[in-house]
């Protein structure tokens, strides 16, 4: 026997307090009556009429003391320690995949699963515990093992569908971690069978009971909306159900209904539609199916038709056609080329200095090519003959898709020491050729003249320049479409003070830091990003959309397969069987009995002596 | 003591006597016996010994048979009104004393208006000389106004009364006397039973007994609760109780048993029992009298 909350033993002080009340004199108000004839001396509560009178036995007192003792003991949560076979832990895996938002089960599959989990929490017996795992792309332990239904309900109230398919293998792994060291456990999965299936069935430490949620597979979806170069809108629709459906597609341009397209969808087919009536100047086009169905997440699709914001780049060079052409390949880039003599500082998103550096400070962010000796953030001195170049780190994202084979550099500036905070991306033997600064304002230095290398002649050159632009001038999320639930790296511009994202349902989410990925992409629609810069506020948009046909096929799936894993050998885990529910029930029962005795008449009926006396009276 | 409206109400009512009346003087009360009076009652055949003066000669001329004319006898009835003036009658909200006095005053008015022989007194022994006629109303009211509730009252007090003539005896009281040291249903039944012998004695003296119980509303449904010390206003006995809904229910069962016991004792003495509350107006009380046949519409 152990006490889980020994401090609650203070509640036992109620016992002497109750006895003290019996010792204390009761001051009764006096009431004149015509007769005492109808007032029977009631069940004696034995309140003393003089202080410290000898305590006389009283049924009420005994019942009150019994109730107080039982309730106090219950508060101390006594438990019997024994083999944990008497206790069991159930891990409920709650599938939070997007398909669980289908409403074929009211109010939704996910809410039905939550209600079922709450019901299971309410049915926990003494010694039984339950844990809840929310099965999203990254499963999380929503509630650790507990026998307290209130804690479980509170945790389940916090549950919400995740944006992506639940990772079943990770969920089972998490359940195993919860069950390790416990005996008599079980795993219950509440799902519609659309979690991400692992290549091989995972091993589960306890039997898996699968409860299927959902009844129908009827669902139509807008797979995609795109715009061709000539401005034609292209829609792809799919019917994942068996029944043919006649639907309408509403084309909404900037919030105003522009057109309605009728469409017939046979069962399990896809249909392509084109539309050429996009109003001029439309920024956001929404296509939505009507009437809706039981799965609303894929009933609409969005297209951002406004061009992304222009990025201004200043190239200061005497003459470098290679560089100029490579920079111009980036869409949405406004390139200004100046001679060094004409250089005037201005507001640019990126400065590219080729063979020249401005006196008195270099504006940032900057790409410096062939810096003059002794100048710039990475001073170069002398010349080296690097010959064949090598990637500093092949996994570097600046070198993504950049093939440096057969790239040669005839001469380059020698960098004796790499300044702190810089790293070499391309090197020749021990001499760095391309360095970038990590953290703070991004900068990059190419230590050689492009004309003294065959790099500009290779396919790797424009790719390297684009990667450098992406590094130096982050962005690129504008007007892009991201899958539901996927974190979006906003890659805000340097100098951004704060970033706010307005979700499709109107919530404004402030990112804790500009570099933090935005993860709240659980609702499909248009997300608006507001970047506060020194120069003002830049507004851009991106779209989050369900792009996974396997989720749109909402028909409940089969139970996922698991492998039974043998438990680790060793002594059986021991658990504590809590007996407080019985104590509390007994205490409340004693209180009820005390109340009945107090009420009088029912008490006489309950009391055996009262029944004998009534029978005796009936016979005489 | 009574308002003009209440007197007007009483003017439309009359007392009902079950027993044959035998007053010393003829009165306005119809007697079950036939006698000479201006009011015709019936015919009956002549039998030997009848008074020839009562033979209807006109009927003989028509029928050639001797028949007698019978007339309604109007006799004086005796009404004895006994008021319980014990201290317990001074309790209640509103106090029972006022209601009981007004009830006695109303019954006395009915009797005096009908030229009955009315005697008003208390269970403790105070009494007015017998009165007759409306002139006695003011004396009765003055007598009642001078009374104050004090002391106690017991069933044996009935036996100390002097009953010179047969009549109707109305006892107005709360009938709350201590039966045993314990309370409750059994004690209430026992206490009601103590009235049986005095009532039987009353019947043996050719008195038709009417027990009229007047209780206060808070005595019918006690409002007190919690820890109290109850003090009997007459005996000074105390009882400490914790009044709970269950105890109040038992109180009401005891009260019902007490009333049943009083009604049983009254029936055994060929009498009647009725009850009203101190909150009732005179019209309600008279309706209770109508219900048991103590009064009727004149």
Query: Are A219 and A243 in contact, with CB atoms under 8 Å apart?
Result: no
Task: Give residue A133's pLDDT band: very low, low, confident or very high (50, 70, 90).
Answer: very high
Answer yes or no: do B247 and A30 touch at CB < 8 A: no
Asked if residue A169 has pLDDT above 80, the reply is: yes
Phi, psi (deg, nearest 5) at residue A454: -95, 10
Pick the range with the lowest mean pLDDT from A530-539, B9-18, B227-236, B256-265.
A530-539
Say whether residue B149 is in contact with chain A using an 8 A CB cutoff: no
Answer yes or no: do A41 and B258 touch at CB < 8 A: no
Structure tokens at A91: 């891990």
Task: Give residue A70's pLDDT band: very low, low, confident or very high (50, 70, 90).
Answer: very high
Higher pLDDT, B105 or A478: B105
Q: In chain B, which among 96-115 make CB contacts under 8 A with chain A?
A: 96
Answer yes or no: do A38 and B183 touch at CB < 8 A: yes
Mean pLDDT of A229-234: 84
Which residues in chain B are contacts of A39 at CB distance < 8 A? 183-184, 230, 239, 241, 247, 251
Query: Are A467 and A402 in contact, with CB atoms under 8 Å apart?
Result: yes
Q: B255 to chain A: nearest residue by CA? A: A38
Task: Give residue A39's pLDDT band: very low, low, confident or very high (50, 70, 90).
Answer: confident
Query: Tell me, what's the pLDDT at B87?
Result: 92
**What's the whole-model pTM score?**
0.45
Q: How far apart are CA A354 and CA A448, in angstroms?
A: 10
Query: Tell me, what's the pLDDT at A494?
Result: 63
Answer yes or no: do A41 and B247 touch at CB < 8 A: no
Distance from the B5 Cα atom to the nearest Cα atom in chain A, whole angstroms: 32
Q: A599 to chain B: nearest residue by CA? A: B246
Query: Tell me, what's the pLDDT at B209?
Result: 92
Mean pLDDT of A6-27: 80
Nearest to A188 by CA among A212, A169, A164: A212
Say whether residue A600 is in contact with chain B using an 8 A CB cutoff: yes
Answer yes or no: do B229 and A28 touch at CB < 8 A: yes
Query: Tell me, what's the pLDDT at A45?
Result: 46
The pLDDT > 70 percentage for chain A reads 87
Higher pLDDT, A515 or A310: A310
Cβ count within 10 A of residue B146? 8
Q: How far apart are CA A74 and CA A258, in angstroms?
A: 68
Pick the range with the lowest mean pLDDT from A164-173, B37-46, B60-69, B163-172.
B37-46
Distance from the B121 Cα atom to the nearest Cα atom in chain A, whole angstroms: 21
Q: In chain A, which among 20-39 make CB contacts under 8 A with chain B?
A: 26, 28-39
Query: Tell me, what's the pLDDT at B214?
Result: 95
Query: Tell me, what's the pLDDT at B286?
Result: 92
Query: Tell me, what's the pLDDT at B178?
Result: 67
Say whether residue B95 is in contact with chain A using an 8 A CB cutoff: no
Higher pLDDT, A474 or A381: A381
Asked if residue A179 has pLDDT above 80, the reply is: yes
Q: In chain B, which among 159-218 make CB contacts under 8 A with chain A?
A: 174, 176-179, 182-185, 187-188, 191
Answer yes or no: do B239 and A36 touch at CB < 8 A: yes
Structure tokens at A8: 């609650």
Query: Are A421 and A458 in contact, with CB atoms under 8 Å apart?
Result: no
Answer yes or no: do A35 and B176 touch at CB < 8 A: yes
Q: What is the pLDDT of residues A389-441, one digit of tens each?
A: 777 777 777 888 888 888 888 888 888 888 888 888 888 877 888 888 877 67
The pLDDT > 90 percentage for chain A reads 18
Q: N- to C-terminal Cα distance for chain B?
A: 23
Pick the range with the lowest mean pLDDT from A228-232, B17-21, B90-94, B153-157.
B17-21
Burial bucket for residue A199 (CB in 10 Å: 0-12, 13-18, 19+): exposed
Of A24, A32, A36, which to mutate for an interface test with B (greatest number of B Cβ within 10 Å)? Answer: A36
Which residues in chain B are contacts of A48 at CB distance < 8 A? none
Q: N- to C-terminal Cα distance for chain A?
A: 55
Of B240, B254, B278, which to mutate for an interface test with A (greatest number of A Cβ within 10 Å)? Answer: B240
Give the number of beta-carbon pairs within 8 Å between A and B: 110
Distance from the A14 Cα atom to the nearest Cα atom in chain B, whole angstroms: 22
Mean pLDDT of B11-29: 66
Q: What is the pLDDT of residues A212-223, one digit of tens each?
A: 898 888 999 998
Which residues in chain A are contacts of B241 at CB distance < 8 A? 39, 41-42
Higher pLDDT, A1 or A272: A272
Distance from the B113 Cα atom to the nearest Cα atom in chain A, whole angstroms: 34
Mean pLDDT of A130-142: 90
Q: How far apart are CA A370 and CA A382, in angstroms?
A: 12
Distance from the A149 Cα atom to the nearest Cα atom in chain B, whole angstroms: 37
Distance from the B222 Cα atom to the nearest Cα atom in chain A, whole angstroms: 10
Which residues in chain B are contacts of A599 at CB distance < 8 A? 244-246
Cross-chain CB nearest to A37 (options B89, B178, B249): B178
Nearest to A522 by CA among A137, A87, A46: A137
Asked if residue A470 has pLDDT above 90, the reply is: no
Task: Give residue B75's pLDDT band: very low, low, confident or very high (50, 70, 90).
Answer: low
Q: B176 to chain A: nearest residue by CA? A: A35
Average pLDDT value for chain A: 82
Q: What is the pLDDT of residues A345-356, one digit of tens each?
A: 787 888 999 998
Query: Are A489 and A501 in contact, with CB atoms under 8 Å apart?
Result: no
Q: In chain B, which among 211-270 make CB contacts under 8 A with chain A?
A: 219, 224, 227-234, 237, 239-242, 244-247, 249-251, 254-255, 258
Query: Are B153 and B176 in contact, with CB atoms under 8 Å apart?
Result: no
Query: Tell me, what's the pLDDT at A48?
Result: 45
Mean pLDDT of A251-276: 90
Pick the range with the lowest mean pLDDT from B178-182, B231-235, B240-244.
B178-182
Answer yes or no: do B246 and A600 touch at CB < 8 A: yes
Mean pLDDT of A167-194: 86
Answer yes or no: do B91 and A33 touch at CB < 8 A: yes
């Amino acid at each position: 026997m152990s006490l889980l909350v020994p401090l609650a033993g203070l509640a036992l002080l109620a016992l002497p307090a109750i006895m003290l009340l019996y010792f204390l004199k009761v001051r009764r108000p006096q009431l004149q009556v015509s007769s005492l004839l109808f007032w029977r001396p009631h069940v004696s509560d034995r309140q003393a009429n003089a202080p410290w009178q000898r305590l006389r036995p009283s049924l009420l007192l005994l019942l009150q003391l019994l109730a107080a003792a039982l309730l106090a003991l219950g508060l101390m949560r006594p438990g019997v320690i024994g083999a944990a076979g008497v206790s069991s832990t159930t891990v409920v895996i709650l599938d939070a995949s997007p398909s669980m938002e289908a409403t074929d089960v009211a109010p939704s599959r996910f809410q039905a699963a939550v209600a079922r989990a709450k019901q299971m929490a309410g049915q926990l017996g003494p010694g039984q515990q339950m844990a809840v795992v929310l099965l999203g792309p990254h499963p999380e332990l929503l509630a650790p093992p507990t026998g307290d239904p209130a804690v479980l309900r509170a945790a389940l109230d916090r549950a919400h569908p995740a944006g992506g398919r639940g990772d079943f293998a990770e969920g089972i792994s998490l359940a195993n971690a919860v069950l390790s060291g416990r005996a008599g456990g079980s795993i219950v999965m509440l799902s519609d069978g659309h979690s991400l299936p692992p290549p091989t069935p995972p091993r589960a430490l306890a039997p898996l009971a699968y409860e299927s949620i959902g009844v129908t597979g009827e669902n139509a979806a807008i797979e995609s909306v795109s715009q061709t170069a000539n401005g034609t809108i292209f829609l792809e629709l799919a019917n994942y159900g068996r029944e043919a459906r006649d639907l309408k597609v509403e084309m909404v341009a900037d919030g105003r209904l522009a057109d309605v397209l009728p469409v017939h969808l046979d069962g399990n087919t896809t249909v392509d539609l084109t539309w050429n009536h996009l109003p001029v100047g439309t920024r956001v086009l929404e296509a939505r199916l009507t009437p809706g169905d039981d799965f609303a997440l894929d009933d609409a699709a969005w297209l951002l038709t406004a061009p992304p914001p222009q990025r201004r780049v200043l190239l200061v060079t005497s003459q470098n056609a290679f560089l100029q052409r490579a920079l111009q390949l980036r869409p949405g880039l406004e390139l200004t080329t100046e001679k060094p003599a004409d250089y005037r500082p201005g507001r640019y998103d990126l400065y590219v200095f080729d063979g020249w550096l401005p006196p008195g400070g270099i504006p940032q962010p900057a790409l410096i090519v062939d810096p003059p000796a002794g100048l710039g953030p990475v001073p170069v001195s002398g010349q080296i003959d690097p010959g064949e170049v090598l990637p500093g780190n092949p996994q570097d994202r600046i070198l993504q898709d950049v093939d440096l084979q057969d790239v040669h550099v005839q001469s380059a500036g020698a960098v004796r020491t790499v300044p702190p905070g810089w790293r070499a991306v391309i090197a020749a033997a021990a001499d760095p050729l391309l360095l970038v600064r990590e953290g703070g304002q991004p900068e990059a230095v190419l230590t050689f003249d492009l004309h003294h290398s065959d790099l500009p002649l290779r396919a790797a050159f424009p790719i390297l320049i684009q990667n450098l632009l992406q590094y130096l001038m982050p962005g690129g999320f504008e007007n892009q479409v991201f899958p539901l639930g996927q974190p979006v790296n906003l890659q805000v511009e340097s100098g951004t003070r704060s970033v706010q994202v307005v979700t499709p349902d109107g919530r404004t989410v402030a990112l804790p830091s500009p570099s933090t990925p935005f993860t709240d992409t659980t609702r499909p629609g248009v997300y608006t990003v507001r970047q506060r810069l020194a120069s003002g506020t830049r507004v851009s948009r991106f779209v989050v959309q369900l792009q996974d046909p396997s989720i749109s096929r909402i028909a409940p799936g089969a139970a996922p397969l698991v492998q039974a894993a043998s438990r680790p050998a060793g002594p059986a885990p021991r658990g504590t069987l809590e007996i407080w529910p019985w104590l509390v029930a007994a205490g409340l029962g004693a209180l009820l009995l005390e109340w009945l005795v107090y009420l009088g008449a029912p008490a006489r009926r309950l009391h055996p002596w009262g029944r004998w006396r009534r029978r005796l009276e009936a016979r005489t | 003591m009574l308002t003009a409206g209440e007197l007007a109400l009483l003017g439309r009512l009359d007392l009902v006597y079950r027993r044959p009346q035998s007053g010393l003087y003829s009165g306005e009360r119809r007697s079950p016996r036939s006698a000479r009076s201006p009011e015709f009652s019936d015919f009956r055949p002549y039998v030997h010994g009848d008074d020839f003066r009562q033979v209807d000669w006109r009927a003989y001329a028509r029928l050639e048979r001797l028949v007698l004319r019978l007339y309604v006898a109007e006799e004086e009835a005796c009404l004895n009104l006994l008021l319980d003036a014990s201290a317990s009658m001074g309790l209640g909200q509103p106090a029972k004393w006022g209601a009981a006095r007004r009830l006695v005053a109303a019954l006395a008015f009915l009797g005096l208006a009908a030229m009955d022989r009315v005697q008003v007194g208390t269970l403790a022994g105070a009494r007015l000389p017998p009165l007759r006629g409306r002139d006695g109303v003011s004396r009765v009211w003055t007598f009642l106004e001078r009374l104050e509730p004090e002391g106690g009252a017991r069933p044996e007090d009935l036996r100390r009364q002097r009953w010179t003539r047969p009549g109707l005896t109305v006892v107005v009281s709360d009938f709350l006397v201590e039966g045993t040291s314990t309370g409750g249903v059994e004690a209430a039944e026992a206490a009601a039973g103590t009235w049986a012998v005095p009532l039987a004695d009353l019947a043996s003296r050719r008195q038709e007994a009417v027990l009229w119980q007047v209780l206060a509303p808070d005595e019918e449904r006690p409002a007190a609760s919690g820890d109290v010390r109850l003090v009997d206003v007459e005996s000074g006995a105390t009882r400490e109780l914790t009044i709970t809904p269950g105890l109040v229910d038992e109180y009401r069962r005891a009260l019902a048993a007490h009333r049943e016991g009083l009604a049983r004792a009254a029936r055994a003495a060929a009498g009647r029992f009725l009850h009203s509350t101190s909150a009732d107006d005179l019209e309600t009380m008279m309706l209770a009298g109508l219900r048991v046949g103590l009064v009727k519409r004149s």
